[in-house]
Chains A and B, each alone.
Chain A
Amino acid sequence: MRKLIYYELLKIATKPRSYIGFAVITAIVLLLETAMYIDGQTYIEFITQSLEESFDIEGKFLNGNLMCFIILQTLIIQMPLLVALVTGDTISGEAAQGTLRLLLTKPYTRAQILWAKITAGSIYLLLLLIWLGILALGLGLLIFGKGDLVVLKTEQVIILRENDILWRFMLSFVIAFISLQVVASLSLLLSCFTDNSIGPIIISMAIIILFTIIGTLDIPLFDHIKFFLFTTHMIVWRNLFDNPLDFNLIFTSVGILIGHIFVFNALAFYYFKRKDIQS
């Protein structure tokens, strides 16, 4: 099993496509941090204009913690695509290039092969998030310094003390990992059904866009299904920056996300084990 995982990781590590995610994250984070470094104060003043009527604002509003929070909000839209680019290709890409049939003639069960692919995909996702953490939080703190985090919500302003923030970010990354694992599992499941490497990536994104649209529309019919859509729960990391925390809501969402991972992977195992390899 270790050998299988090692070679799956080797394939990911040596494939140029795998580095698109790292490149895009680096570019976006550097772009945002540079822009905020040059023109951040004006931007912050514009955002906090309305607050100045009610509060006296002192101290450093723009700091590394706020930068990380802004970057997380921005990148959560792109991250699923970056993940699907790799995981959506794991089975179908191999089928398209003909290596799947060679791989399946080796003395491993199909379940072991799929498990190795899921594990390698998860490790890739983890590395992508660690890289995001290093750039967004690490570089942010280095450039903009420490400070309290002011979170502006529609109806409230939440101020989190400097020593109360790090664990929230850590947990946010854990929830982001679970959320993106849902996308990885979905694209891997779709990857089992086709021999075309682009199809699963596009369909995964189409599903995410569709679910997100349903989630944002205030139509009574959709209210009944919103709860069951994984996209509704993918943004639950934001609730970690509430005060007080609604643990019930967070745990429910995490549970639903894990449920989706389980269902998608179970379906992938079921189908992949029975699939006739004709490509």
Chain B
Amino acid sequence: MTDLPVLKIKGLAKHFGHIKAVDGLNLHVSKGEIFGLLGHNGAGKSTTMRMLLSLIKPTSGRIEVFGSELYSNREKILSDIGSIIEKPDFYPWLSAKTNLELFAALSRKPVSKNRISQTLEFVGLAARAGDKVKTYSHGMKQRLGLAQAIVHDPALIILDEPSNGLDPKGIIELRELILHLKNDLGKTVILSSHILSEVELIADSMAIIHNGRTIIEGSVAKLLSDENLLVRFFVSNPAKAKSAIESSVFAGKLIEMHNNELILELNNQDTSRVIRLLLDSGNDLQQVISRRRLEEYFLKITSAAS
């Protein structure tokens, strides 16, 4: 990952009549990173992604991709972008292979038949490549969508809700695939997802948008490092555990207590100290579960913005 910007958005706005779908958005995506675009439904994520692909014309603002202004270099820039927007749709009466050949040919980059076969193999559709897309499940279409996005070897990949409709196995495979694109092939990936735990696992940077504006942007690790965790401890002696926690200065705040379960709000660095404290108080620790930090962070940030 370098600091070289692949995408720079400044003051981007899109108004549909009196509705401000995007309202002065600023973003910066560096080369070789996975960038998560987060926001509630209607926050402006999809409109932003559509503007990045010139499907929607901005009311105002500037989009720079690979250092050039998007609208004056549209064709050149688009030849180096691969995307899935909303849901992967194809010509249902054509086979997956023909669909892929069609979109690869329109990418204006040389794509060999071998590359098409390799891509289908890569997304696990080689065995069904000759079947018509209308016979595909949603998960298979999603994988074909990904194949379509990467078949022409683009430098920037834009994925709008790529895990929609995927089963848990599919989500894990998609995560590995996106990480492979970044780690092994050096691609830059911009993705939006409702599954925040997924974004937390793979994204290097993120932005949270709310009512069409960026409310926070930066490195995921940095943004979450200052955050307290919600940790659930399942203990053998809750009374002793409670007393130990209340007498400690670092054990955070006790949020809830049910039977043998205690939920604590902890500083990120204090989890291991609290585990030792509970063990020292004569408790057997049956289970420790940390709630995903990004979910908490997202809710906190968007609630504050509301």
Please pick, from B56, B77, B87, the residue contacting A277 in the complex, using a CB distance under 8 A.
Answer: B56
| B55 and A3 form a contact (CB under 8 A) | no
In the complex, which of the residues A15, A99, A103, A107 contacts B76, with contact meaning CB atoms closer than 8 Å? A107
Tell me if A7 and B56 are in contact (CB < 8 A).
no
Most buried by B among A3, A4, A99: A99
Residue of A nearest to B14 (CB): A276
A278–B79 CA distance with the chains assembled, in angstroms: 21
Q: Given A97-B92, A101-B85, do A106 and B55 touch, yes or no (CB 8 Å)?
A: no
Give the nearest-CB partner of A278 in chain B. B56
Question: A131: shortest Cβ distance to chain B, in Å?
Answer: 22
Binds A, one of B102-110, B192-200, B220-228: B102-110
Q: Within 8 Å of chain A (Cβ to Cβ): is B50? A: yes
Q: Does A11 contact B (CB under 8 A)?
A: yes
Cβ contact within 8 Å between B92 and A105: no
Contact (Cβ within 8 A) A16 B75? no
**Cβ–Cβ contact B91 & A11, under 8 A:** yes
A105 touches B78 (CB 8 A): yes
Flag if B83 contacts A105 (CB, 8 Å): yes
Interface flag for B181 (CB, 8 Å): no
Picked from A14, A15, A16, A105, the residue with its CB within 8 Å of the CB of B55 is A105
Q: B72 → chain A, closest Cβ, in Å?
A: 13
Closest CB in chain B relative to A100 CB, distance in Å: 9
Count residues on chain B whose CB falls below 8 Å from chain A CBs. 32
- Decide yes or no whether B201 CB sits under 8 A from chain A: no
Q: How far is the CA of A264 from the CA of B107 in the complex (A)?
A: 29
A109 interface contact, C-beta 8 A = yes
Say whether A274 faces chain B, with CB atoms less than 8 Å apart: yes
Tell me the minimal C-beta distance from A58 to chain B in angstroms.
55
Say which residue of B16, B53, B90, B102 sits within 8 Å of A7 (CB atoms). Answer: B102
Q: Are B94 and A109 in contact (CB under 8 A)?
A: no
Instruction: Kindly identify, within residues 81 to 129 of chain A, every residue whose CB is under 8 Å from any CB belonging to chain B.
Output: 97-99, 101-109
Question: Of A15, A102, A108, which is within 8 A of B148 by CB?
Answer: A102
Contacts of A106 in B (CB 8 A): 78, 103, 106-108
**Residue in A14, A103, A274, A276 whose CB lies within 8 Å of B106:** A103
Q: Does B176 sit within 8 A of A, measured CB to CB?
A: no
Considering only residues 69-100 of chain B, those with a C-beta below 8 Å from chain A are 74-79, 81, 83, 85-87, 89-94, 98
Number of interface residues of A (CB under 8 A): 24
CB of A171 closer than 8 Å to a CB of B:
no
Is A10 positioned at the interface, with any CB of B under 8 Å from its CB? yes
Give complex CA distance A261, B54 in Å.
28
A99 touches B106 (CB 8 A): no
The reply to whether B57 and A274 form a contact with Cβ atoms under 8 Å apart is yes
Q: Which residue of A lies closest to B57 (CB)?
A: A276
Partner of A109, one of B75, B79, B102, B105: B75
Q: Which residue of A lies closest to B51 (CB)?
A: A276
Residue pair B54, A104 in contact (C-beta under 8 Å): yes
Chain B's nearest CB lies how many Å from the CB of A14?
Answer: 6
A97 with B78: CB separation less than 8 A: no
Of the candidates A4, A16, A105, the one having the most CB atoms from chain B within 10 angstroms of its own CB is A105
- Of all chain A residues, which has the CB nearest B87? A98
Complex CA gap A10/B91 in Å reads 11
In the complex the two chains form, is A107's CB within 8 Å of B56's CB? Answer: no
- CB–CB B103/A14 < 8 A: no
Instruction: Write the chain B residue with the least CB distance to A15.
Output: B93
In the complex, which of the residues B74, B89, B91, B98 contacts A107, with contact meaning CB atoms closer than 8 Å? B74
A-B contact pairs, 22 of them (CB 8 A): A3-B105, A4-B106, A11-B94, A14-B98, A16-B93, A97-B91, A98-B86, A98-B89, A99-B90, A101-B89, A105-B78, A105-B81, A105-B83, A106-B103, A107-B74, A107-B78, A107-B108, A108-B108, A109-B75, A274-B57, A276-B56, A277-B56
- 10 closest Cβ contacts across the A-B interface? A98-B89, A277-B55, A107-B79, A107-B75, A107-B78, A106-B106, A276-B56, A105-B53, A107-B108, A7-B102
Apart from A11-B91, A104-B54, A277-B50, what are 12 other A-B pairs with CB-CB below 8 Å?
Answer: A4-B106, A14-B91, A97-B91, A98-B89, A99-B90, A99-B91, A104-B53, A105-B55, A107-B77, A107-B79, A107-B107, A277-B56
Question: Which residues of A does B touch, CB under 8 Å?
Answer: 3-4, 7, 10-11, 14-16, 97-99, 101-109, 274, 276-278
Q: Which positions in B face A, CB cutoff 8 Å? A: 16, 50, 53-57, 74-79, 81, 83, 85-87, 89-94, 98, 102-103, 105-108, 148
